[in-house]
Amino acid sequence: MTDLENKTVSEVRQMTDAELEREGWDHYRGSTPTVLVFEDGTRVFPSKDPEGNGPGALFGISNDDQAFRFAPK
């Protein structure tokens, strides 16, 4: 696994068609997963399960304890 510690996120965007194709995924139920792109080009994206059978959603909790999710626009 790639070590992400001390890497800086440079972009947050939706997965491209080429990236979806590389993973063997279609546009899942009309949505596209979020991709975190780091300054060195490393990309991280969610999957619905450990086997990579489809895209998933990113959820989080902000530093002021508010829940959020990334969703396509």
Amino acid at 14: Q
CA distance 8 to 36: 10
Q: What is the mean pLDDT of each run of 10 residues along the chain (73 residues)?
A: 82 90 77 88 88 82 81 57
pLDDT for 2 equals 60
The model's pTM is 0.76
CA atoms within 13 A on the CB side of 59: 5
Return the domain boundaries, the chain. Answer: 9-70
Exposed e or buried b per residue across 27-52, where buried means at least 16 C-beta atoms within 10 angstroms of its C-beta? eeeeebbbbbeeeeeeeebbeeeeee
